[in-house]
Structure 1
Amino acid sequence: MAFGVFIHRSDSIYDDVPSERYQFPRQYLSRVQQCEGDWIVYLEPSKVKGTKGYFAVAKVQEIISDPRKSDMFLAVIEPGTYLDFGDPVPFRDAENIVEKGLLNDEGRISGRAQAAVRTLSNEDFARIIERGLCVDDDFLPRVGDLAAITGFQDVQAPFQHMPARERVNQLTSRAVRDRNFRKNVLRAYGERCAITGLRLINGGGRAEVEAAHIRPVEQDGPDIISNGIALSGTAHWMFDRGLVGLNDDLTILVSRQSNDVGAVTTMINSTGKLLAPSRRANRPRLEFVAWHRNHCFKA
């Protein structure tokens, strides 16, 4: 097994869903097989306008033939392992490239950098993960959420020069995943409640909005932006309890079981629809919206 890098772009010709699968042709099979059962980092190419660089990490569960295309294969991502970096890591920093294994003996970038799939050294993996995991206090869980995370301070401390295999443990830590999920969702929604439209900032300059999972983690909901919504505390409470929900067109639904339907309705922004991110890939996926409507919303 080995750590790896998978290059992905949102306009890819391949049938990729980074949190679920990575499609590739036979020529990359031997390289991808080296990463089977191990962790990989996703990289958006430098030539993509506004590239995010290294933007996520995930664990490859298995390699299978693509049942829909005989000449293609799929790297199946282990459920619950995909994680967007709270701080995407640029391919190149102020001094040099982050992935040192791409440098040749003369200190220049080798042709290996063009490979869509490549293995990643332990040192490079640890360096990318350390820079990508969010440690910004402005995006830490709110005080009420913090109390529910046992040993949060213990998880937060060891961010310095940790060996790669020890750092893997952070990737499954609920505290670390919540922190990165919150930062990405709030960034996607401009720190604005998607139901009320309010963008409230407290005296410390911190956004008074929370990151809500559409399909909860406890119900196999992934920690991805398209399974998240930025909501104020009250809107989050109502959404989790099924007092508000969403149609497939993102029209906001109000449950008739609410004890004050009129008051809830007045909280909704004037469009009557969820104020979704402009970037299509960040908008709620219909499968998660439908799950919430069918399993949580009280019609």
Structure 2
Amino acid sequence: MAKGIFVHRADSIYDDAPEERYQFPKRYLNRAKLFEGDWIAYYEPRGGGGRMGYNAIAQVAEIITDPSAEGMYLALIEPGTYMPLETFVPYHSELGFLESDLQQPDGRLNGGLIQWAIRPISELDFNRILARGLAPENLLPRVDDPEAKRSVGFEDVPAPFEFDFDRDRIETITNRLVRNRIFRRIVLDAYDRRCAFTGLQLINGGGRAEVEAAHIKGVAEKGPDIITNGIALSGTVHWMFDRGLLSLSDEYEILVSRQINNRDQIENLIHPSRKAIVPANPNHRPHPKYLEWHRQRFKN
């Protein structure tokens, strides 16, 4: 096994769903097989509006022939392992290229290697990317967090910058506690800390947003911790959304269940447009497949 890089564009022509699968042609098969059972980092190239850097990690479960496309293969992602990095990591830093192999002896970029859609990466380089992609507070929990005190494996002292993580350390860092923090941050940032259903942006006296990051398809149902499966909601709205009393159409129209008591009060609570306020970036908006899943549990 070895760690690797998967290059993924937002406008990819391939049948990719980074949290579930990565499609590639046969010429990359032998290289991709090296990563079965191990971790990869997703890299955004310049094309398609990419930022030339790393935005997520995931564990490859297995490589299979794509049953729906001749000559194509799929890297299936282990369910629940895809995790966006909290901070986007540029491919080049003050220390040089984070992928050491991208740097030629004269210090210039290896223009051929960076074109590889699938490429290996050293354990040290992968750890450097992971360390830069996670805020320091996500390497160890806050000491005042009661949930963190119950978590297994968080008593370790943080390592220096290189973070020579072994497999157990990676799994500890990517556990549910850390994933919840990252999911909350990326969703609230996308929605400007504003409830999508009410339009309210409530900040408490300590500067913390009162809005919550809700999963559209729940974690218990294998819903991924990705921005397109998230939506920012106030506490009451979140409670009703999780119970199928509120939902969304594919056009982001707010659906109100007839089973709600005091329906008029809820109608007055939601945004006057009766449409959710979604991010300006279309890549950050709720995905139709997760909205459809939620509507199937909507109590009409």
TM-score using structure 1 length = 0.89
SS at the partner of 1:55?
strand
Do 2:3 and 2:120's aligned partners in 1 also have CA atoms closer than 8 Å? yes
* Residues 237-266 of structure 1 deviation map (CA, whole Å, 9 limit, x = unaligned): 221222212223221112222221111111
Matches within 5 A, 1:59-98: 59-98=59-98
CA distance in structure 1 between the aligned counterparts of 2:4 and 2:256, rounded to whole angstroms: 46
CA distance in structure 2 between the aligned counterparts of 1:113 and 1:71, rounded to whole angstroms: 23
The offset of 1:150, in angstroms, is 5.0
Letter aligned with residue 125 of structure 1: F
The offset of 1:202, in angstroms, is 2.2
CA distance in structure 2 between the aligned counterparts of 1:209 and 1:156, rounded to whole angstroms: 30
Q: 1:50 to 1:171 in 2, by over 3 A?
A: same
The offset of 1:160, in angstroms, is 3.0
The offset of 1:131, in angstroms, is 1.2
1:263 corresponds to which residue?
265
1:123 corresponds to which residue?
124
Matches within 5 A, 1:202-217: 202-217=204-219
CA distance in structure 1 between the aligned counterparts of 2:18 and 2:6, rounded to whole angstroms: 10
Q: 1:215 to 1:156 in 2, by over 3 A?
A: farther
What number of residue pairs does the alignment pair up?
293
Q: 1:187 to 1:158 in 2, by over 3 A?
A: farther
CA distance in structure 2 between the aligned counterparts of 1:159 and 1:101, rounded to whole angstroms: 27
The offset of 1:157, in angstroms, is 6.7
SS at the partner of 1:164?
coil
Are 2:98 and 1:102 aligned?
no
Are 2:159 and 1:160 aligned?
yes
CA distance in structure 1 between the aligned counterparts of 2:248 and 2:230, rounded to whole angstroms: 13
1:113 corresponds to which residue?
114
Letter aligned with residue 86 of structure 2: G
1:294 corresponds to which residue?
296
Are 2:1 and 1:6 aligned?
no
SS at the partner of 2:4?
strand
Note the aligned Cα RMSD (angstroms): 2.4
Q: 1:76 to 1:153 in 2, by over 3 A?
A: closer
1:283 corresponds to which residue?
285
The offset of 1:278, in angstroms, is 2.0
CA distance in structure 2 between the aligned counterparts of 1:275 and 1:51, rounded to whole angstroms: 26
The offset of 1:152, in angstroms, is 5.6
CA distance in structure 2 between the aligned counterparts of 1:10 and 1:68, rounded to whole angstroms: 21
2:251 corresponds to which residue?
249
The offset of 1:275, in angstroms, is 1.2
Do 1:52 and 1:90's aligned partners in 2 also have CA atoms closer than 8 Å? yes
* Residues 61-110 of structure 1 deviation map (CA, whole Å, 9 limit, x = unaligned): 11111112211111111111111111111112234222223223333322
1:221 corresponds to which residue?
223
1:38 corresponds to which residue?
38
TM-score using structure 2 length = 0.89
CA distance in structure 2 between the aligned counterparts of 1:37 and 1:154, rounded to whole angstroms: 22
Letter aligned with residue 151 of structure 1: R
Do 2:8 and 2:42's aligned partners in 1 also have CA atoms closer than 8 Å? yes
SS at the partner of 2:196?
coil
Q: 1:229 to 1:26 in 2, by over 3 A?
A: same
Do 2:153 and 2:172's aligned partners in 1 also have CA atoms closer than 8 Å? no
Q: 1:228 to 1:52 in 2, by over 3 A?
A: farther
